[in-house]
Chains A and B, each alone.
Chain A
Amino acid sequence: QVQLQESGPGLVKPSQTLSLTCSVSGVSMGRGGYYWTWVRQHPVKGLEWLGYAYYSGITYYHPSLKSRLTISVDTSKSQFSLKLTSVTAADTAVYYCARLAPLGVVTSRWYFDVWGRGTLVTVSS
């Protein structure tokens, strides 16, 4: 059974960097076949996809966050991580790590089949 678990600070100061880690169990990330992704949920704005990374180093980010976001995979630790720089109050949300599962060759068809439990990150001084 595949399981994902987020970890990281729950409080980040404005202008600083938000760093989260997702620990993956039940599947070997290095075997490929899935993309590893982050999704956040604002209390008011709903669910927002942030970006994904593949074990080989391929990444793709939401265009609006591309300049601030880095997602990386560490297969040796069975983890992937998120770093979001220059955070503001607008980045306050519950952050979920999730697995992006294939539905055909084209990644635009893929879907989020396994989710972590989520972690609340508040940006405040």
Chain B
Amino acid sequence: QSVLTQSPSVSGAPGQRVTISCTGNSSNIGADFDIHWYQQFPGTAPKLLIYGNNNRPSGVPDRFSGSKSGTSASLAITGLQAEDEADYYCQSFDNSLRGYVFGTGTKVTVL
């Protein structure tokens, strides 16, 4: 069972801004562990999108940004594009489980 909860789906028209939430607790996000985000297309492996809360690896467009506050984190996509339609997962570390944990995943649909 994932300990990081994400909304199952988010949708938006091209050009719009959408946000994906990732809610944890005092054992993970609230314990000030970093949040990382991954993008996954059907049938492929997850790809690192954001690391260390708000850092983009080389090659990731700047329309993707991350933030963290309290026991939650968010991934924002500004200027939504058709190729952004994918599943997105947050990831952190959990003190109670003593391991790395992933979110439940959010499917982004471009209308």
Please give the residue numbers on chain A whose beta carbons come within 8 Å of chain B beta carbons, in ascending order. Answer: 45-49, 62-63, 96, 101, 103, 108-109, 111-118
Contacts and interface: CB of A to CB of B under 8 A. Distances in A.
A49 B44 contact: no
Interface of A is mostly: strand
Contact of A103 (B52, B89, B97): B52
Given A103-B51, A109-B33, A117-B45, A47 B89 contact: yes
B1 A112 contact: no
Interface of B: 1-2, 33-34, 36, 38, 44-48, 51-52, 57, 89, 91, 93, 97-105
Given A45-B2, A62-B99, A103-B34, A111 B51 contact: yes
Contact of A46 (B2, B33, B51, B98): B2
Contacts of B103: 46
A70 B7 CA distance: 34
Contacts of A62: 97, 99
Given A46-B103, A47-B46, A118-B44, 4 more contacts: A49-B101, A62-B97, A112-B91, A117-B44
Contact of B91 (A96, A111, A115, A117): A111
Contact of B45 (A49, A96, A108, A109): A96
B102 A46 contact: yes
B109 to A, nearest CB: 18
* A-B pairs, 7 with minimum CB distance: A47-B102, A108-B93, A115-B45, A111-B36, A49-B100, A111-B51, A109-B34
Nearest to B55: A103
